[in-house]
Amino acid sequence: MTLDDFDYALPPELIAQHPPADRSAGRLLHVDAPAASLADRMFRDLPDLVRPGDLLVMNDTRVLEARLMGRKASGGRIEVLIERVLGDHEALAQVRASKSPGAGTHLVLDPDLDVEVLGREEEFYRLRFAGDATVVELLARHGRIPLPPYIDRAAAGDDTTRYQTVYARHPGSVAAPTAGLHFDEPMLDRLQALGVRVAKVTLHVGAGTFQPVRVTDISQHRMHAERYTIGDDVVEAVAAARAAGGRVLAVGTTSLRALESAAAGHGELRAGSGETRLFVTPGYRFRVVDRLLTNFHLPKSTLLMLVSAFGGQDLMRRAYAHAVAQRYRFFSYGDAMLIERATEAGWAD
C-alpha cells in the first residue's frame, strides 16, 4: 500500500473552525461494515445505537496549555510546543526560532518564565523550567491551548473548555481525543441509564499526531511514541462485557490504540502502563475493539489508515466521499462517525 491509497479531496470550507453550540449537537455517520451500509444520523441518536451490556471505553487524558510564546535571552522570538512532561521540572518540546537554540540557551516565556535548553533528543528539545512550581502548574499559568494546525485562528476563551472532554482528568496531551468532545453529562447519563458501562483509559496524545507521513511506502513509516495506562478495572469491564454478550466501543482512535497496544504483546488485554508506537493499517487483526466512534481524519494520515483497517478500505472511501458530498464538518471540532468493525478485519489469532 502507498500513501496515495489514503488520499481524498476535501473542500477547505468543510474543516470545522469552531465547536458546535452544544457538544452533542453534531452529526453522526453510521458506517456498518458487515452490511456495507451508510446511514446519516445525529450524535444525539447514539443511545439508539447501543444496547445494555455494551462497554464504552474513553480516554481521560487532559490537554495541557502546551503552547508558549517568548524570546531567547539574546532577543530572538520563539514559540514552544510542549510534547511531553518528563517530570516536575523538565519537558520535551518543539521549539520554533529563527536559529536553533543550543544547550545552555535561556528562553524567556510569557514574560517572566525562565526555561533552559538542556539539549536535543531527536526532533525535540529537552527543557528545564526554573522555580518551585511544576511544569504542569506553570503551563496552566502561562500557556495556551494548542489548537491543531488546520484551525486557522488563535485559541479563544471557550477553547479552554471546548477543546477538553467533560471527563478529562490526567494532564499530559497536546491534542484532544476529539471523539470524546461530543459527549456532555446528559449524554453520558442517558447511556448509563440504558445499561451501558463506561471505562476509562489514559493515552497522552503527542504533537506527532499531526506530523505528515513522509514516505510513499507506508510500511516504512515509524509512529511517534505515546504513553498509555490501562487499569485492572478496564480489563475486568471488557471481560464482563464479553461475558454478557456486549460490545466494546472505543471512543476515539486513542482509546482503540491504548486497548490494542495493551493486548498486542500477550494476545489478551492486560493492565499496565507503557509506550506505544502501534501503527494500524489494513490487514491488522484486532483483539479488543468491536466498534469505533471517531471524527473524520486528514487525508494521507495514519488515523485514516487506522479507520480503513477497522471499517475496510473500500467502504471507508465511500464513507468519506459521502461525508464530503453531504457537507459533514471535518476534523477536531467536526462531526463523528460510528464504525462497526469489518468482518474481514476479524480477530487476532
Contact between 211 and 19 under an 8 Å Cβ cutoff? The reply is: no
**How far is the C-alpha of 244 from the C-alpha of 152, rounded, in Å?**
46
**How far is the C-alpha of 256 from the C-alpha of 32, rounded, in Å?**
18
pLDDT in tens, 153-183: 989 889 999 999 999 999 999 999 999 999 9
Looking at residue 344, its pLDDT comes to 61
What three-state secondary structure class fits 71?
Answer: strand
Helix axes 302-311, 313-325, angle to 10 degrees: 110
- Of 3.40.1450.10, 3.40.1780.10, 3.40.50.970, 3.30.830.10, the CATH number of 3-63+160-340 is 3.40.1780.10
Instruction: Kindly indicate the confidence band of residue 267, based on its pLDDT and cuts at 50, 70 and 90.
Output: confident
Looking at residue 347, its pLDDT comes to 39
pLDDT in tens, 239-258: 999 999 999 999 999 999 99
Looking at residue 65, its pLDDT comes to 95
Instruction: Kindly indicate the confidence band of residue 66, based on its pLDDT and cuts at 50, 70 and 90.
Output: very high
Comma-separated ranges of CATH 3.40.1780.10 domains in the chain: 3-63+160-340
Comma-separated ranges of CATH 2.40.10.240 domains in the chain: 67-142
What three-state secondary structure class fits 305?
Answer: helix
Q: What is the SS3 assignment for 312-334?
A: CHHHHHHHHHHHHHCCCCECCCC
Q: What is the mean pLDDT of residues 32-53?
A: 97
* Class level of CATH domain 67-142: mainly beta
E strands within the chain?
Answer: 27-32, 37-42, 55-59, 61-63, 67-72, 77-85, 90-97, 106-109, 113-121, 124-129, 170-173, 197-203, 226-230, 248-251, 272-276, 291-295, 336-340
